[in-house]
Structure 1
Amino acid sequence: MLESLPLADIRAFVMTADHGSFTRAAEQLGVSRSQVSKQVTALEQALGVSLMQRSTRSLRLTESGHLLHAQCRSALGDITQIVTLVREERNAMRGRLRINSVGGPIGERLLAPAVHAFMQTWPQVQVELDFSSHRVNLIRDDFDIALRMGALEDADFIARPLMTLPYVVVASPDYLARHGAPNTPGELVDHRCLVGSVSRWSFTARGAESRELQVDVGAQLECRNGHVLVSGAIAGNGIIRVPRLYCESAIARGELQELLSDWQPADVPLSLIYHRERHRPLRTVRLIEHLLEWFAR
């Protein structure tokens, strides 16, 4: 029965009891007198008791009416206070934000400085930065936003592009001395490859004829950690395909060499994703705006 009692009817009853008049209660609620009278009557019918004794000049609460008024007045006050707190919390720049992102250089060198700058601006916001390698579900895993690489097909969230990550295919001089260098992407199937989350590598031919090619490579080592892939390649264990950001210093030192000069590995987009909910806390809105501006620079 409780589920069938409209809160508006209870509020109309409490307001009428407070003011001792349907007319004054209607003025406070911004509705007609007849509407308030109908709401109180509907509440009485739902409860099966008389709450008010009515006359042409006055209203008097019954014993049941006094009992209900005392309890509901207190409860409505609590509800009003809670609603006020929720609204204040939504519009306050404080509270916790949970962010999930791919780790390695992307999380450490691209995202972390942006988060540090955000926290300098909004010191009352607490941030939990998670670099879990598994692909999280924003709602199930209770994250406010996430950074994801690659194509996004899930329609349950909003995706905003942050940047495009150039990729390279590299190996160490030691590996190339022992195994030779592939001349075309198709020759990768005969080489030792160290693979992250993607074993189908895409390429576009450089030059006037921009042919596209995809190759399913074997995984001599499979690991979602970019540091491990780079260190494995430097150790001479195989060929890797990673964002240039991951290994540009190793290339500069001569520890790794770029391969397949006639072919460009497909770039991969990095996107910011968040819930589709219409009413999001102000701290989440400000973080989204901050990250979009940060990566745009």
Structure 2
Amino acid sequence: MSIISPPRDSFDHRDPLTSSLSASYAGVVAFIAVANEGSFSRAADRLGVGRSAVSRSVQKLEQQLDTRLFLRTTRSTTITGEGELFYENCRPGVERILQALEEMRDLREGPPQGQLKISAPHGFGRKVVAPLLAEFRVHFPAVALELLLEERAVDLATDRVDVAFRDGRLEDSQVIAKQLIPMRMHVCASPDYARRHGLPESVDDLAAHACINQRLTNGRLQYWDFKIDGYARSITPHADIVVNDPSLAMGAVLDGQGLSQLAAYQVCDALRAGTLVECLAHLVPDDRGHYLCYLSRQQLPKRIRVFIDFMTTRIRALDLDCSTIELNARRQSAAIPMLAAEAGVAA
């Protein structure tokens, strides 16, 4: 008995999944790379193949879809409307496949490697995150780092951010949020300001003081948060100076221009050195934190895992919540009325 093999086109018709994947996968990968890089040449470099190979793969995909995905000229490559729709549908699946391949490669090849994109607020990013990156690179030189400072809460998936540092109270249930340290908010002034004007003993006393506030990215002024008799209370004091960066607010306070409510990581060193004094320490809220956020994935690339572990260990060791100087700060606050009285100022 002889076995007659079916014609090739008959096999393809009976097994459309196999034929579709074999014909399309290379084209989809090439298409995603071109869409991400905005250029066939840069996509080829990213994929480690020749530009002509990328171009052929995309052309075959366009023929299969009977749709123009890019508009090409000698100077530019622009994705079409149909291309954008196809990109949004394909990208999650391709990224999961690439992630799986990358994780397996990490397991085989040892040390963490690849690109790591990080987002952080301006103040925390400059003061805390950025100084630690050099040490991280010493331990993991094969990991390339990109740090973006911005106040908005980035969408980790859409903005392609691997790890985001966030401050305050988190409500995003789509990410894993690991609290690094509590975020304590302290009302501070310079000793010179305290001697000249005294310090408030209650939240209501703030109305009689020069306040320095911050304008947030959404346009509103920052609330000053307190915990009074176990209840949260937020106010927006009248401000003589408004800035849009925490370091500027800190500078104005150090210059003796008024009071401001600042995060502990900003003021800890100054409180220890005595260049700032704290008031209303007994009203500091305790419902905020500094968080390290990443997408809810069961398996993270090794470069993300080691970064999370490194930052968690280093930041917690810095004592940025002022816990070790809280008692001393309260003693300083208690001493200020006497200093003010000696200078002839009613506290």
Displacement after TM superposition at 1:213 (Å): 4.4
Displacement after TM superposition at 1:239 (Å): 0.7
Q: Which structure has greater strand proportion? A: 1
* Rounded Cα–Cα distance in structure 2 between residues aligned with 1:133 and 1:233: 22
Displacement after TM superposition at 1:157 (Å): 1.1
Question: Is 2:278 the counterpart of 1:265?
Answer: no
- Deviation digits for residues 64-96 of structure 1 (CA, Å, limit 9, x no counterpart): 459999x959936976x9999764323323221
Q: Which structure has greater helix proportion? A: 2
Displacement after TM superposition at 1:128 (Å): 0.6
Relative to structure 1, is the Cα distance of residues 257 and 290 closer, same or farther in structure 2, using a 3 angstrom cutoff?
closer
CA contact (8 A) 1:160 1:272 kept: yes
Question: Is 2:113 the counterpart of 1:90?
Answer: no
Specify every segment of 5 or more residues in structure 2 that has no aligned partner in the other structure, as ranges: 30-46, 48-93, 107-111, 318-347
* Rounded Cα–Cα distance in structure 2 between residues aligned with 1:265 and 1:108: 24
Displacement after TM superposition at 1:114 (Å): 4.1
| Aligned equivalent of 1:60 | 5
CA contact (8 A) 2:168 2:183 kept: no
Specify every segment of 5 or more residues in structure 1 that has no aligned partner in the other structure, as ranges: 1-55
| Aligned equivalent of 1:99 | 118
Q: 2:212 aligns with which of 181, 194, 210?
A: 194
Displacement after TM superposition at 1:61 (Å): 4.5
Amino acid at match of 2:122: G
Relative to structure 1, is the Cα distance of residues 250 and 113 closer, same or farther in structure 2, using a 3 angstrom cutoff?
closer
- Deviation digits for residues 167-211 of structure 1 (CA, Å, limit 9, x no counterpart): 321123443455442221112133322123463323346xxx767
The SS at the match of 1:149 is strand
Structure 2 counterparts to residues 1-297 of structure 1, below 5 A: 57-62=2-7, 64=9, 72=19, 75=22, 87-91=100-104, 92=106, 93-104=112-123, 106-176=124-194, 179-196=197-214, 197=216, 199-204=222-227, 213-260=233-280, 263-267=282-286, 268-297=288-317
Displacement after TM superposition at 1:144 (Å): 1.0
* Rounded Cα–Cα distance in structure 2 between residues aligned with 1:151 and 1:171: 25
The SS at the match of 1:161 is strand
Relative to structure 1, is the Cα distance of residues 217 and 72 closer, same or farther in structure 2, using a 3 angstrom cutoff?
same
* Rounded Cα–Cα distance in structure 1 between residues aligned with 2:309 and 2:275: 39
Amino acid at match of 1:101: A
Q: CA RMSD in A?
A: 3.6
Displacement after TM superposition at 1:138 (Å): 1.8
Relative to structure 1, is the Cα distance of residues 150 and 182 closer, same or farther in structure 2, using a 3 angstrom cutoff?
same
Number of residues of Structure 1 aligned to a counterpart in Structure 2:
235
Amino acid at match of 1:88: L
* Rounded Cα–Cα distance in structure 2 between residues aligned with 1:223 and 1:148: 20
Displacement after TM superposition at 1:137 (Å): 2.2
